Amino acid sequence: MKFGGTSVADIDRIRNVARHVKRETDAGHEVAVVVSAMSGTTNRLVEWCREAAPLHDAREYDAIVASGEQVTSGLLAIVLQEMGVNARSWQGWQLPILTSDAHGSARILAVNGDEIVKRFQERKEVAVIAGFQGIHKETGRITTLGRGGSDTSAVAIAAAIKADRCDIYTDVDGVYTTDPRVVPRAHRLDKVAFEEMLELASLGAKVLQVRAVELGAIQQVRIFVRSSFDKPEDIDPNAEPPGTLICFEEEIVEQHLVTGIAFSKDEAQISVRRVQDKPGVAASIFGRLADANINVDMIVQNVSENGATTDLTFTVPEADYARATDVLTKAKSAIGYEKLDGATDVAKVSVIGFGMRSHAGVASEAFKALAEKKINIRAITTSEIKFSILIDAAYTELAVRTLHSLYGLDKASA
């Protein structure tokens, strides 16, 4: 069971979480709980680091921000004990959760769940584990996994203890066809395949961290997304609660043409104009951005009529826009382009679904529908189970609503 920041925002909500945990232990289940920091805590800790020094030691940053989860795990263990549930808190290093040494965005290498399983059997003890953190074995330093890392902690621990399921409790009751705040008629999906969820998560859906979904697929951990705000006493632990199961494609009987629509406004577009059309130019541009740890997403290349020069247009996260333009401006003579253009008022809208593999014309229907709404498409990328378009940010909601209706997702859940 994993609970995010809003679910543990104060002591009352931590008591609510404890009642969810007690419900499962009373039903005879062995339970490990992973918790995030209380809502707003990590932001405050990060701000303190920045105040102390703008360019601070990443190792000390991890030591500071990891403390938020330590507080929550201790508080939940105390509340569970008060309720008569045998429980103890664990920090990432105590299991241990071993990670790489990339402070601030470490990757999990191994998790030792032996002691947790032993205590299940010998003491019926609930393990309350601080999410988002681990330890680098060689240096003995605390590491953190990046924003949303508690999801990844939970899936990794579920795999280590061979859990039947990993329940991710959040402030929504599952994965929806799109954001219900944009499309009120969006509905909850009962099941989503790992591959589709990976696309949804990486393209803007905020429900699950991408690495958690990736890890679930690799380690074969079924993930269940459900609400922590449902009353614990109203839920039958032996019945299937409302939520969305992230599982393998084979488990989904009825395949839909389109599963969901994701969107992201945190995008920026960069165009490198009139660069020489010769081997090595793309490597020269994208290699420099990769060296600066800037992820490039959509790439469109237009060759001039005479074939001598080309325009390269691509997207980067909006937060990296200034850095990306700076990297390219400094390398102007080395790359050999004439002009650099950019825009931050763009959005990426993506349509995801396994049904696209066997149906032609899914994307062309979208282009036609958007054209009728006078929405201009700046760039397009496609893969086997998704296509993404780049549009002006002002048209994001209209585009999402148009596509949601076009593919029949407005109907009640099938």
Arithmetic mean of pLDDT over the chain: 92
Residue 386, pLDDT score: 92
pTM of the predicted protein model: 0.85
CB crowding 159-170: b at 16 or more within 10 Å, else e? bbbebeebbbbb
Give CATH superfamily name and number for 2-249: Acetylglutamate kinase-like (3.40.1160.10)
Residue range(s) occupied by CATH 3.40.1160.10 in the chain: 2-249
Distance CA 278, CA 55 (A): 39
Compute the residue count for the chain: 414
Q: Among all chains, which residue has been given the structure tokens 């080309």?
A: 310
Per mean pLDDT, which range of 139-148, 282-291, 342-351, 358-367 is the poorest?
Answer: 358-367
Q: What is the pLDDT of residue 414?
A: 42
Q: Side chain identity at 303, as an amino acid letter?
A: V
413: pLDDT confidence band, cut at 50, 70 and 90?
very low
Q: Where in the chain is the domain with CATH 3.30.2130.10?
A: 261-406
d(CA 327, CA 334) in angstroms, rounded, equals: 11
pLDDT digits (tens, 9 = 90+) for 364-388: 999 999 999 999 999 898 888 999 9
Q: Per-residue pLDDT tens for 300-338?
A: 888 777 778 899 999 999 989 999 999 999 999 999 999
Band of residue 277 on the pLDDT scale cut at 50, 70, 90: confident
Question: Domain 261-406: which CATH class?
Answer: alpha beta
The closest alpha carbon to 92, from 53, 49, 47, 128, belongs to 128
Closest alpha carbon to 46 in 29, 63, 31, 30: 63
Task: Report how far residue 343's alpha carbon sits from residue 359's, in angstroms, rounded to the nearest whole number.
Answer: 34
Q: How far apart are alpha carbons 230 and 364 in whole angstroms?
A: 41
SS3 (DSSP) at 150: helix
- Per-residue pLDDT tens digits for 57-107: 999 999 999 999 999 999 999 999 999 999 999 999 999 999 999 999 999
Q: Which range, of 110-114, 181-185, 371-375, averages the lowest pLDDT?
A: 181-185
Stretch 6-24: mean pLDDT, rounded? 96
pLDDT tens-digit series, residues 138-155: 999 999 998 889 999 999
